[in-house]
Amino acid sequence: MESPDSPSSFPPLSLDDALRHWLESGGQRLGELVIHRCGEGWEVRHHSDAAADVSTLTRHDRPEEAREIARYDDAGQYRPLKAAPTLVRGWRLVVPDTATLRTALDFFYPAALGNWVAFTSGRAVPVPVKATFARQTGMYRITGLLDDDDCRTVVAATCDYATRCRRRITWPVAPGIPLDTLPPEKTDTAPPDHELPILCLEACSLLVAAARTHIKKKRAAAG
């Protein structure tokens, strides 16, 4: 969440400037995307199509088309989690400038740029997962009952970097209690310079829902 006193102590960086600076310093990877300068501006592809001949890729020109590209996986299954490593191949998106590129990137990986800028400038404060659970009401109030090991178990199963989610977790279980059982790529917030990390600043609703399922099963098993 935003740090309450941050705006006065840290003048906000322009997101467009941050994106431009990252690109100028060699940035080209975001999640499964690869971004290159082209004659008409900027071209975005699936990184596995980096070497593909343009004639084999379907061209798109509107940033909103990024949303459609990211909507279903190869098997036609809906992708509610955009950071899932299931982005389809076979397309290229060409946009004229970095402002339009920013719009498109926010459709592929919502808030990735904003979270990265907020995190690296100290304006975002990662929220411990137990605090997220403790805040829930209604049907999710029960997630406040997860203990530290429950949290580790649910995160390991729900957020797996290789198969489930390419976001990199910045938050601990609780203050002073780190998530130290995850593979390093899941928590490394500073990958090589050419890659912009998709940061997870707080547990998402998918994890909250998984936590609810976990604790209900655990309680049922305990009788």
Partner 1 sequence: MDDARIVSDRWRDAALVLLGHGSTQNPDSSTPTWQHADELRRRGLFREVQCAFWKEEPGFREVMHMVEADEVFVVPNFISEGYFTRDVLPRELELTGPVTRRGHRLIRYCDPVGIHRSMTRLLLKRASEIAAGVPRDRISLVIVGHGTSLNDNSTAAITSQVELIRASDAGFAEVVDAYMEEEPLVAKWDALTTAPNVVVVPFFIADGLHSYEDIPVLLGISENSPGAISANQGEVFRRNPYSLRGRQLFYSAAIGTDELMADVILDQVAAATAAQ
Q: Does 8 bind partner 1 (CB under 8 A)?
A: yes
d(CA 168, CA 205): 16
Residues 23, 28, 31, CA angle at the centre, nearest 5°? 125
With CB under 8 A as the contact rule, the residue among 205, 213, 216, 217 that binds partner 1 is 205
Q: Please report the sign of the dihedral spanned by the C-alpha atoms of residue 13, residue 14, residue 18, residue 20.
A: negative
Residues 139-198 that bind partner 1 (CB under 8 A): none
Strand pairing class (33-38; 29-30): antiparallel
Q: Which is nearer to partner 1, 52 or 103 (CB)?
A: 103
Q: Does 96 bind partner 1 (CB under 8 A)?
A: no
SS3 65: helix
Query: In angstroms, how far is CA 186 from the centroid of its own chain?
Result: 11
Q: Least distance (Å) from partner 1 to the CB of residue 72?
A: 7
d(CA 102, CA 98): 6
Q: Least distance (Å) from partner 1 to the CB of residue 52?
A: 27
Q: Does 201 bind partner 1 (CB under 8 A)?
A: yes
With CB under 8 A as the contact rule, the residue among 115, 143, 158, 170 that binds partner 1 is 115
Q: If binding means CB under 8 A, how many residues of this protein chain bind partner 1? A: 39
Q: Does 78 bind partner 1 (CB under 8 A)?
A: yes
Beta bridge partners of 33: 30, 46
Q: Does 138 bind partner 1 (CB under 8 A)?
A: yes
With CB under 8 A as the contact rule, the residue among 32, 43, 150, 202 that binds partner 1 is 202
Cβ proximity of 95 and 61 under 8 Å: yes
Q: Does 5 bind partner 1 (CB under 8 A)?
A: yes
Q: Does 64 bind partner 1 (CB under 8 A)?
A: yes
Residue 183: HSE in the Cβ half-sphere, 13 Å Cα cutoff: 11
Other C-beta atoms closer than 10 Å to the C-beta of 104 total: 24
Binding interface with partner 1 (CB under 8 A): 1-2, 4-8, 12, 14-15, 64, 67, 71-72, 78, 80-83, 106, 110-111, 113-115, 117-118, 123-124, 127, 135, 137-138, 201-202, 204-206, 209
